[in-house]
């Protein structure tokens, strides 16, 4: 199995599309406010582009040894340090999900909540068009978190994209979309983490009858990792970077809010209905 490299592959890129960044609001992003509507002031397409450039950089940087022996899922820092790039991608994904949730539940007016949801749906759609399945998943998870999903009046019919990353049928819809996708593409890492966990936990390292190395297990692990490496090669996007927006997306200030606090904001914005009123 060939070790993936951190160097960018050489690919034939088309001319980069013109940036649609709102320069008027860049100073707001650069000031790093704790709570802001700055992301709502930016075009959804440009947010998707910068999120994609950010994720593509880290996706390409993952080396094959980070996928071995489930070191990405261990809690001690020494083990996590052996899979630094996967750890960063997981952190970025979780932070984006929580930011999406926080931006929705922070609005106490239903019309404003709906506007936030629509904005993030548009970002997710733009990410899907770029084959950035990682960001699509993060946004959908953020919109489907309990604090948002319970807000039925706001959620309504905005359920697009959820089927693409649904876990049903062993992520059948995601696999179908991936099969139809072309490079560049950023994988939804959760699928591969699940697959590797299943193989690692479900097969012994040594054969019980003779204590020989279980090469079949190693073959299965190698097959999964080789698929990841194949998608890493050519994961280069011909997009213009916007430093301020990428920096803001990398260190989202809302991404570390506890779920219990998000739920409290959700209840404040859309109170729990008393079932006794319907009796």
Looking up residue 82, the CATH number of its domain turns out to be 1.10.840.10
Q: Say how many domains are in the chain.
A: 1
Q: With 70 as the cut, is the pLDDT of residue 34 above it?
A: no
Given a cut of 60, whether residue 136 has pLDDT beyond it is yes
pLDDT of residue 126 exceeding 90: yes
Over residues 50-107, the pLDDT tens digits come to 999 999 999 999 999 999 888 877 777 776 788 999 999 999 999 999 889 888 888 8
Q: How crowded is the C-beta side of 155, counted as CA atoms within 13 Å? A: 18
Residue 230 belongs to some domain of the structure: no
Note whether residue 207 is domain-resident. Answer: no
pLDDT at 64: 94
Q: Measure the CA–CA gap between 83 and 238, rounded to whole angstroms.
A: 28
Q: Does the pLDDT of residue 156 top 70, yes or no?
A: no
3-class SS at 206?
strand
> Exposure pattern of 187-211 as b/e (b: 16+ CB <10 Å)?
bbbbbbbebbeebbeeeeeeeeeee
**Band of pLDDT at residue 117, cut at 50, 70 and 90:** confident
Q: What is the pLDDT of residue 257?
A: 60
* Average pLDDT of the residues of the chain: 82
Distance CA 205, CA 215 (A): 8
pTM over 0.75: yes
CA-based nearest residue to 147, from 4, 37, 15, 257: 257
Rounded Cα distance, 145 and 168, in Å: 17
Containing structural domain, residue 87: 23-191+235-255
Domain for residue 68, yes or no? yes
Angle between helices 84-105 and 259-269 in degrees, nearest 10? 20
Report pLDDT digits (tens) over 188-212.
999 999 999 999 999 999 998 898 9
CA 162 to the chain's CA centroid: 13
What is residue 177's predicted lDDT score, i.e. its pLDDT? 94
- Residue with more model confidence, 276 or 240: 240
């Amino acid at each position: 199995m060939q070790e993936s490299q951190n160097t960018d592959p050489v690919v034939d890129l088309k001319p980069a599309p013109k940036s649609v960044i709102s320069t008027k609001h860049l100073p707001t992003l650069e000031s790093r406010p704790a709570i802001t509507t700055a992301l709502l002031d930016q075009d959804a397409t440009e947010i998707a582009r910068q999120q994609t450039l950010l994720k593509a950089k880290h996706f390409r940087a993952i080396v094959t040894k980070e996928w071995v022996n489930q070191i990405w899922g261990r809690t001690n820092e020494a083990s996590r340090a052996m899979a630094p790039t996967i750890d960063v991608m997981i952190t970025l994904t979780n932070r984006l999900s929580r930011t999406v949730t926080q931006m929705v539940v922070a609005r106490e007016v239903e019309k404003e909540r709906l506007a936030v949801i629509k904005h993030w749906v548009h970002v997710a759609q733009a990410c899907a068009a770029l084959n950035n399945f990682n960001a699509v998943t993060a946004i959908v998870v953020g919109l489907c978190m309990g604090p948002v999903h319970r807000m039925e009046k706001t959620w309504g019919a905005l359920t697009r994209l959820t089927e693409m990353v649904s876990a049903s049928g062993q992520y059948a819809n995601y696999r179908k979309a991936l099969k139809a996708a072309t490079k560049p593409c950023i994988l939804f890492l959760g699928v591969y983490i699940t697959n590797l966990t299943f193989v690692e936990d479900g097969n012994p390292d040594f054969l019980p009858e003779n204590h020989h190395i279980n090469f079949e297990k190693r073959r299965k692990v190698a097959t999964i990792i080789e698929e990841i490496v194949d998608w890493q090669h050519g994961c280069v996007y011909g997009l213009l970077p916007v430093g301020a927006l990428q920096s803001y997306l990398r260190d989202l200030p809302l991404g570390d809010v506890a779920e219990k606090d998000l739920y409290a904001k959700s209840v404040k914005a859309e109170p729990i209905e008393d079932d006794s009123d319907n009796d």
